[in-house]
Amino acid sequence: MHLVLVGTSHHHAPVELRERVALDPEQAHALAEQLGEAVVLSTCNRTEVYVAAEDADDAERRAVAALADVEPALYRLRDRAAALHLFRVAAGLDSLVPGEGEILGQVRAAHEHGTPGLLLDRLFRNALHAGRKVRTQTAIGESPSSVSAAAAALAEQVFGDLDGCRILMIGTGEVGEQAARNLRTRGAEIVLTANSKTDRDELAAQLAAVDVVVSSTSSPDVVLDAETVERNRHGRQLLLIDLAVPRDLDPAIHELDGCFLYDIDDLQAIVVETLAGRRSEAERAETIVAAEAEKFHEWHASLDVVPAIASLRAHAEEIREAELRKAEPVLGRLDESQRSAVESLTAQIVNKLLHLPTVRMKQAAAAADGVIYADAVRHLFGLEDER
């Protein structure tokens, strides 16, 4: 069984491309069902499709077709590389803001909305474990540890002091709540918290009374367009921060005099400023992730030889039991303790004979030679018919 990953992220595509393949939880679940054993991870920064399949080429073609709108920006990874990538994602090492904590919950939600079988279930559970381990054993998540925190830091950079700064929050989800919390801790006042369904006139009326607009809804359409902003701000200067994918705020707002619009990609400048202090912690996190990913790889590789090992042991046990039956005329004269000693002795002989071949096959599996060893064992012991 192969692991296939097809996706795009902020490393490969700007927000105007990523928003074309942004999926809500229901859409992600529908796509996973369509692909079979699959999990779809769709956040502001990435849309990634993980598929487990015997035919890796076919699985990759189907996943690429599902994300065809951004095909030139897609990356494709398989097996070991795909697993390591997810482990890094869950640990926040591949995020726009390294170490941000929101991604761990997003990976968990993707797992819950997917259609995982044995392979993907184990992959995502292990990735979540690695992510939690990084957060508890390193300080990579120190401030600003999320896109929401970075947005608040941007507002503080613009105004210098957020005391008395009035904020219009559009979006009542987790990202919006975290952004509001970060802004309040810096002294800002949240004038109105709205969502994409709030009356547009009510939203527009607030533009003349606020300094900052932060939007993070899941609306597929623009929440505020340039014409509405220009008509209702009455010449007031505005800082607008769009944390949504697809974008909530009309990109044309940036062309208005006195309006300063930043989308999720623009936060990269803030990230760069925080990277130096995190470099040593990121190195520690990478070491943890690599070790956890290697454990998963060894387990995944062992799946190729487990059936052969099981068949070999079953075959040996059948021979042992057959020989004991042949010796029944003699064994029948033994008392219960003597009979038990014979059973134990023959079982130990079988186990000791098979121990080293079992260990060697598992070691070979981790080194990519497992299938060769497994096929050789099947041939040598006549197990082909049991495969």
What are the pLDDT digits (tens) for 82-110? 999 999 999 999 987 777 778 999 999 99
Q: Which pLDDT belongs to residue 158?
A: 81
The 10s digit of each residue's pLDDT in 109-159 is 999 999 999 999 999 999 999 999 998 898 877 655 567 777 888 888 788
Dihedral through CA 141, CA 146, CA 149, CA 151, nearest 10? 150
* Helix/strand/coil for 17: helix
CA dist 48 to 18, 43, 219, Å? 11, 9, 20
* Cα distance between residue 297 and residue 85, in whole Å: 12
**Is it the case that residue 283 has pLDDT exceeding 90?**
no
Residue-averaged pLDDT of the chain? 87
- Looking at residues 14-35, what average pLDDT do you find? 95
Q: Which pLDDT belongs to residue 75?
A: 97
Q: Which pLDDT belongs to residue 115?
A: 96
- Looking at residues 221-249, what average pLDDT do you find? 92
CA dist 86 to 139, 216, 314, 365, 384, Å? 20, 25, 36, 22, 36
- Looking at residues 7-32, what average pLDDT do you find? 94
Q: Which pLDDT belongs to residue 171?
A: 87
Q: What global pTM score does this model have?
A: 0.69
- Looking at residues 193-219, what average pLDDT do you find? 87
Give the active site residues.
44
- Looking at residues 256-283, what average pLDDT do you find? 78
Listed in order, the ranges of the chain carrying CATH 3.40.50.720 are 147-270
Dihedral through CA 305, CA 306, CA 309, CA 311, nearest 10? -110
* Helix/strand/coil for 387: coil
Q: Which pLDDT belongs to residue 368?
A: 61
| pLDDT level of residue 385 (50, 70, 90 thresholds) | low
| pLDDT level of residue 240 (50, 70, 90 thresholds) | very high
Which of 302, 300, 286, 213 is closest to 256 using CA atoms?
Answer: 213
Helical (H) or strand (E) element with 340: helix 336-366
Q: Which pLDDT belongs to residue 387?
A: 47
The answer to whether the beta carbons of residues 52 and 60 sit under 8 Å apart is no
Q: CATH topology for 147-270?
A: Rossmann fold (3.40.50)
Q: Which pLDDT belongs to residue 270?
A: 67
Which of 150, 215, 147, 152 is closest to 183 using CA atoms?
Answer: 152
**Is it the case that residue 59 has pLDDT exceeding 80?**
yes
Q: What is the token pair recorded at 370?
A: 């497992």
The 10s digit of each residue's pLDDT in 295-340 is 998 888 777 677 777 888 888 888 899 999 999 888 888 898 998 9
| Beta carbons within 8 Å of 15's beta carbon, 6+ residues apart | 245, 247, 263, 264, 265
CA dist 111 to 5, 23, 37, 101, 191, Å? 14, 14, 11, 17, 36
Give the full edge-to-edge strand order of the sheet including 38-42.
38-42, 46-53, 2-9, 75-78
**Is it the case that residue 51 has pLDDT exceeding 50?**
yes
Does the domain formed by 2-142+278-302 have CATH 3.30.460.30?
Answer: yes
Q: Which pLDDT belongs to residue 227?
A: 95
